[in-house]
Amino acid sequence: MGTERSTGCPSRDTHRNAHRHSLSSSFRSSSPLAEQYLARDLADYSSSDDDVAVDDSGSEHHPRDASTHFMNRRPSGVAYGGTRPVLNPQIVDDPGLSPLERRQSRDAERSLLRDNHVLPPKRPERKRRHGLASRMYHRIFGTRPPAEEDVESRGPALVVQPPSETSPLLSGGQSTSHDDDDEVIDQQWEQAVAEGRIRTTWQRETKTLAQYSGPLVVTFFLQYSINVASIFAVGRIGKAELGAVSVANMSAAITCIAPFQGLATSLDTLCAQAYGSGHKHLVGIQFQRMTLFLFTLMVPIAVLWYFSTGILLLVIPEPDSARLAGLYLRVMIFSIPGIILFECGKRFTQAQGLFRATTYVLLVAAPFNALLLWLLVWRLELGFVGAPISVAVTDTLLPILLFLYVRFVDGRQCWGGFSRRALSNWWIMIRLALPGMIMVEAEWLAFEIMTLLSSRFGAEYLAAQSVVATLGSITYQIPFPVSIAASTRIANLIGAGLVDAARTAAKVAVFTLALVGILNLTLFSTLRFHLPLLFTDDPDVISLVARVLPVVAVMQVFDGLSAGAHGLLRGIGRQSIGGPANLFAYYAISLPLSLWMAFGLGWKLEGLWLGVTVGLVVVSIIEYVYLLITSWESAAREAESRNEAG
């Protein structure tokens, strides 16, 4: 998704592609403020080095245009981390595809054309057996549209002639046979879309959703595991320690992680636009600029964390938990530079289409964190303080590993070295970043405030809240990545004008997320006395968690459905309704209900989570009603208009 740019050489018939429907269309115009920001940088710092872009093969070409589009866009903005990934109304501007992704995209287009009988099959079709097992297999797993839409009723398929003995070996500077084939695919795609010959099936969309979301699920689990591992590690020390970790993570989230992630979301737009314009060194400058800005904010946060014990004693009625949480935050001061560098660094790599860089880094860092936790907490018998030391070391390791990836694997082309340019043009960057920070902070606070409220009931309730919140966040690492993948796929299909196909993909996504929610409901309900044992052996805490989990189990269904609604809205370019709907449900309905049921009715933790569940039900109803009444055809026309405008 995002503003489209060419992923091929501009010499390839750019004029004829100006009106081409592609499966990678834009769903919002670039931010005018971001465009103004980039224009100022170009005006102030344009040089001969910046005027020429270097592609992945090392050859030079001019900045990309919007002429040539490919099918599959990678989901963007992955690996937010933290305890509760949130809906952010800002959509990442696509930096373009890598050579591997371009090849995969072209292969996907060919596959769709073959399944719709526009291109001949990849291999000569053998006569199918008509046995029951064969028919059931093709009915369940086949990706082709139903037989009634076969080739006889839809026109002749294109026959691509293979080279013959008389075919010239050299084309005199003309396109190669591979380029000719790509041109043929382009022509057939345009014609097939215009004639309404492209259809999809639920089998194909299920396969695509799994391919898109699989790596994202792994990435989210890996990054979340860095924080959640400390809860597992110290939970068996005591209930005061278990509650303290929850309080410390809450404090770190709302005072540092959420604001820094919210501010860094501006790089999703700024770095991607700089990369897409062909001025790659500006990507590094944007990274330096945001990093320096966040480092200036680090000082007051470090002071706040250093003196956090006294503050927490005023708001947390459990003195032991407050003191331990303050100790945790003091140690975590050393993690702040790593948090800043990694949050900015992963935007630096993602703007270049290097989405796997973060996953590779986490594949190393997450197991290292688990091993270090065991070593410090249990082997060296440091106890509670071993947990924040491990997290701080791991948070420092993350940007180091990312730097090594950029230096020795890929991404170095956008680093032009340290520059004084990073010290200028801060004001527009701050204006662009503030809305993202406010949105992320507001949504994180809505969930983290439950930890603060639960502390009013006693140490065992605070420990139980820590367990319940961790379990809910673990299971959320599946619906949220799936929603990102669904939004990408639906955006691709809507951008191509394939509205019916987009609806099919949406139905598959909603069904998948509902199924995930039902599975989580079953898991939480049937194992409600066993799941707490993963965290603690305190009988009081286990009993409290077992009482709350049935409520959280019901919440899982609506948690998944609301995540799916967020993804569908992003996919059709109507994500602006999501933020207000969330904030209304959280602060106007969920939080008042939670307070009334927890304190007014005396339901305590059950009341807190029941209020959250009602809020999620309201969000789901608002967003799905909006999806039903909004015109998806209108979204497709808007995407087409933006493509035609370049």
Instruction: Please tell me the least confidently modeled range out of 77-81, 169-173, 396-400.
Output: 77-81
| Closest of 516, 527, 486 to residue 503, by C-alpha | 486
Tens digits of residue pLDDT in 439-470: 777 767 877 788 888 888 888 999 999 899 88
CA distances to 158, 204, 525 from 133, in Å: 32, 20, 37
Instruction: Please tell me the least confidently modeled range out of 56-60, 346-350, 412-416, 561-565.
Output: 56-60
| Closest of 417, 409, 401 to residue 342, by C-alpha | 401
The average pLDDT across 94-106 equals: 57
What pLDDT does 188 receive? 66
8 A C-beta contact, residue 358 and residue 349: yes
Radius of gyration of the chain (CA): 26
- In sequence order, the β-bridge partners of residue 53 are 61
What pLDDT does 190 receive? 64
8 A C-beta contact, residue 34 and residue 248: no
pLDDT confidence bin for 16, thresholds 50/70/90: very low
The average pLDDT across 353-379 equals: 90
At residue 371, the 3 state secondary structure works out as helix
Query: Residue 276 belongs to what H/E stretch?
Result: helix 266-276
Give the span between the Cα atoms of 545 and 529, in whole angstroms.
8
**Highest mean pLDDT out of 37-51, 245-259, 421-435:** 245-259
What pLDDT does 34 receive? 59
Q: What is the pTM of this model?
A: 0.74
What pLDDT does 396 receive? 95
The better pLDDT of the pair 477, 190 is held by 477
Q: What are phi and psi of 47, to 5 degrees?
A: -145, 175
Half-sphere exposure at residue 91, Cβ-oriented, CA atoms within 13 angstroms: 30
Tens digits of residue pLDDT in 336-345: 999 999 989 9
DSSP letter string over 114-137? HHTTSS--SSPPPPPP--HHHHHH
Count of CB atoms situated within 10 Å of the CB of 50: 20
* Burial annotation 405-427 (CB, 10 A radius, 16+ → b, else e): bbeeebbebbbbeeeebbeebee
What pLDDT does 187 receive? 65
The average pLDDT across 195-215 equals: 77
pLDDT confidence bin for 102, thresholds 50/70/90: low
DSSP letter string over 557-620? HHHHHHHHHHHHHHHTT-GGGHHHHHHIIIIIIIHHHHHIIIIIS--HHHHHHHHHHHHHHHHH
What pLDDT does 548 receive? 93
Domain ranges for the chain, please list them: 202-644
pLDDT confidence bin for 88, thresholds 50/70/90: very low
Dihedral in degrees, nearest 10, Cα atoms 435, 438, 444, 449 = -170
The average pLDDT across 242-268 equals: 86
- In sequence order, the β-bridge partners of residue 60 are 54
8 A C-beta contact, residue 270 and residue 429: yes
User: Is pLDDT at 510 greater than 80 in this prediction?
Assistant: yes
Tens digits of residue pLDDT in 533-551: 988 888 999 999 999 999 9
CA distances to 201, 355, 519 from 366, in Å: 37, 17, 26
Tens digits of residue pLDDT in 567-581: 888 778 777 777 788
pLDDT confidence bin for 584, thresholds 50/70/90: confident
Percent of residues, the chain, with pLDDT higher than 90: 25
| Closest of 588, 584, 587, 608 to residue 596, by C-alpha | 608
Give the span between the Cα atoms of 608 and 571, in whole angstroms.
32
Query: Residue 479 belongs to what H/E stretch?
Result: helix 479-495
Give the span between the Cα atoms of 398 and 545, in whole angstroms.
33
pLDDT confidence bin for 497, thresholds 50/70/90: confident
DSSP letter string over 507-563? HHHHHHHHHHHHHHHHHHHHTTTTGGGGT---HHHHHHHHHHHHHHHHHHHHHHHHH
| Closest of 637, 78, 584 to residue 353, by C-alpha | 78
Tens digits of residue pLDDT in 110-131: 776 766 666 666 665 555 555 6
User: Is pLDDT at 17 greater than 60 in this prediction?
Assistant: no
Mean pLDDT of the chain, nearest integer: 75
CA distances to 20, 82, 497, 546 from 194, in Å: 10, 45, 9, 57
Contacts of 502-505 with CB under 8 Å at 24 or more apart are 502/571, 502/572, 502/632, 502/636, 503/632, 504/200, 504/201, 504/202, 504/205, 505/200, 505/205, 505/208, 505/209
What pLDDT does 10 receive? 32
DSSP letter string over 35-93? HHHHHHHHHHH--TTTSSEE-TTS-EEPPP-S----SPPPP-S----SSS----S--PP
What pLDDT does 551 receive? 93
| Closest of 403, 414, 440 to residue 80, by C-alpha | 440
What pLDDT does 597 receive? 92
